[in-house]
Amino acid sequence: MSDNEKKSDNPPPRSEDHKRKIPPANSKAALVWLLVMLVLGGLLLFKNYTPKEVKTLKQSEFEKLLVPPAKIQSAVIVNDIDSVFDIEGQYLPENGVKPVNYRTKVIYSPYLSELLRNTSVEVKSNNSGFWHIFWVGIAPVLLIGAFIYFISMRQMRMSGHNALDFGKSKARMIPPDELNVKFDDIAGADEAKEEIAELVEYLKDPIRFQLVGGKIPKGCLLVGEPGTGKTLMAKAVACEAGVPFFSISGSDFVEMFVGVGASRVRDMFEQARKHTPCLIFIDEIDAVGRSRFSGWGGGHDEREQTLNAMLVEMDGLESRNGVIVLAATNRPDVLDPALLRPGRFDRQVVMDLPDINGRRKILDVHIKKIRIDSSVDLDVIARTTPGFSGADLANLCNEAALLAARRNREAVSQAELEEARDKVSYGSERRSRKITDRERRLTAWHEAGHALIALHHEFCTPLHKVTIIPRGQAYLGATFTMPKEDVYTKSKRELEAEMAMSMGGRAAEELAFGDITTGASADIRHLTDIARHMVCIYGMSDKIGPIKVGDFSIHPHLRIDGPTPDQLAPETAREIDLEVRRLIETALQSARDCLSTHRDELDKLANALLERETLSVDEINTLLELDPPPSAPDGSADAAETETSAPTTDHGETRSDSIQA
C-alpha cells in the first residue's frame, strides 16, 4: 500500500478552524427561519394595522348615524368586555363622497340593539374565533420563540459545537507536521531537554523499553516561571517524536453545567486512545488540579469532580498504554498530592530561569531574526540580564529592533540593545517629566552617593551606569550595577556592602545639603529587608545566633512580609529589632565615612550628572581618574548573582524596590 493510500484511510482530524465553518445546510436553515419570522411579523403587523386618520365618535353620534337613512357603511366589533363594545368601521359623511374611518366605544342598551338589528349594515365580530386567538395569543409567542431559537443555534454554530456537544472535549489535535518546533529551537534548558528526551525515545521505539521490563512515565509535569518555555518544550516533544499532539487548557474543562468537566476529561482520553501513541498537553493545570479540601469550595464542587475524573483516567483500573500526559504550571505548590504521585505525574521537569550561558544561547536564537551591526556584543547583554526568562529575552530583541526602526537605522546596534534591556527591566525614560532645579541637584548628589559607594567599596557589585533621568517607576534617577557573573549565594561582607550602598544616597544628601529628603524611602525599605533576613534567616547576627527566627514563608495568596508577631516572644522580637537597627546604623556610618573621604569626587560626579544626565562606568572612571575595578576578591562568594537583576537604587519616594536579593 502506498503512502497516499495510507493517508486516505486515516485522514488527519479536522482542526477547529474547519469545525467553526458553518455548513451550507445550516446556512439554508437559518435563512428559512429568518424568512418565517419576517412573514409572521409582517402578517401580525398587517392584521393589527390601523389607519392613522380615525375619527372618534361618541355613542350618541354613532346612534344618530344608524338611524335611517343610515350613513354607516361597515361596523366591526373588535372588543367586547362587560357590555362595553369597541366598534370600528367606515361611514359616509354628509355631502361627502370619501368614507371616513371611525372608532367608538358604546354601552349596550335595548335602543342600540334595535338600531343594529334594523340597519342594513352587517355587524361583524372580530373578538372570537380561531384566527383572533392565533394572531393575538399564539403568533407573538411563536415569533419570540423562533427568534430565541435562531440566536441560540447561531451562537452554538459559531462556537463550533452543537446543542449537545458541551460535554465533548475541547482538546485540539495538532498533527506533528504542523508544530515545526525542534529541540534545537529551545536554548538555555539543556538539563530539561535531556530529562524529557526519554519520552521521545519511548514514543519512537516503545518495544525497546518493554523488552527490558521498563515502564515509561505516564505523566510529566513541566514546572517553571512564566516565560521559561514550558509550552514550547511540550511542542518540541511531540514534534520530535512524530506523534499526534492534543492541546487543551486547564480552564477549558470547567463550565457552568455540573458534570461537564468530568465528561470532557473522559472524552479527551477516549479520543487520545484512538490515536496512540500520542501526547496530551494540559496547560495551566493548576486551574483544575488544585488540592482538594483546601478552602476552595465544598467537597463535591465541579472542579473536584473534574480532578477526580482526571485521576482515574491517568491511573485507574483500566490501563492507559500509549497515552502520555504533559502538563505545565508555575504553581506546583497548590496541586493535589494525588495528582503528583508516581503512576500519574511520575516526573517533574524544572524549567528554570536560564543562567548566563543559557541567556547567551537564547540571544543567539532570537538575534537571528533581526539585523545587527558589528558593534553588538551579546556577552555583555547576557551578563547584564540576570533573571530574564526566554520570553523576556525575545521581547528585548524585538524592542531593540523597534527602537532601531524608530531611529531610522538599518541595523540594531549595541546602544539599542542596552536601551531595550533597560526598558524591559525598569521602564522607559520619561524625559518629558518637569523637574525643578532643586530636585535635579538633590537627585544628582543622591545618585552620585550610590555610585561612589559602589566604586570604592571592596565587596560591592561593580557599577554599570548612573542616570538622573526618570525611568519607569523611578521618579527621579537610578543607579545600575552589573555583576561579573551569576551568583547564587552572598557572603556577609557582600550584604553589608549592599546595605552601605543603599545608604549612599541619604549620606550624600546629609553631607552636601545638611538635610535629608524622602528620596531614600525605597532604599531604607530595601536595607531593612536585607538586615532582617541577615538576623532571622541567614544567622549572621552574633547576638541572635545561627537560628531561624519567625516564619518568613510566602502564602500562595496572601502577602506576608516578615515574621508574624504571635510566633515570637516579646523579648526575642525586641532583640531582633535592636540587631536590625544596629546593622542599619553601621551601614549608614560606613556610607558617611566613604563619602567624607571622597568628598571631591562626590561633587565632581554630581556636577557631571547635572551636565550630562547619564554616565557609564567607563566615563565615570575617566572623569574621576580611577583605574578599572579589580576582579572580585577571594573572600567574596564565588558563584554568581541571585537570579534577579542587579540592584537599582533611585531617588524618589515612589519607585520600584531594589531588585538585588
In degrees and rounded to multiples of 5, residue 251 shows phi and psi of: -75, -15
Give the dihedral sign, CA 615/619/623/629.
positive
Strand partners, 290: 335
**DSSP at 357:** H
Distance CA 445, CA 466 (A): 11
Helix (H) or strand (E) holding 335: none
Strands 55-57 and 245-249: unpaired
Strand partners, 35: none
| Ordered DSSP codes for 635-656 | TS--S---SSPPPEE-SSSS-P
Residue pointed to by grid coordinates 338600531: 115
Distance CA 493, CA 501 (A): 12
**Residues marked as catalytic:** 447
Q: Give the cell for residue 428.
A: 522607559
Do 529 and 523 touch, CB atoms closer than 8 A? no
Strands 614-616 and 463-467: antiparallel
Largest CA distance in the chain: 129
How far, CA to CA in Å, does 99 sit from each of 61, 72, 90, 93, 444?
16, 9, 6, 7, 96
Do 657 and 530 touch, CB atoms closer than 8 A? no
Distance CA 484, CA 489 (A): 14
Distance CA 317, CA 390 (A): 41
Close Cβ partners of 518 (under 8 Å, ≥ 6 residues apart): 653
- Bond into 556 cis (ω within 30): no
Distance CA 167, CA 157 (A): 15
Distance CA 524, CA 506 (A): 9
Do 31 and 118 touch, CB atoms closer than 8 A? no
Distance CA 343, CA 347 (A): 9
Do 583 and 534 touch, CB atoms closer than 8 A? yes
Q: How many C-beta atoms lie closer than 10 Å to residue 631's C-beta?
A: 8
Do 389 and 425 touch, CB atoms closer than 8 A? no
What angle do helix axes 504-513 and 521-536 make, rounded to 10 degrees?
Answer: 130
Close Cβ partners of 301 (under 8 Å, ≥ 6 residues apart): none
Return the CA Rg of the chain: 40
The identity of residue 524, as a single letter, is I
Give the dihedral sign, CA 46/49/53/54.
positive
Strand partners, 474: 471
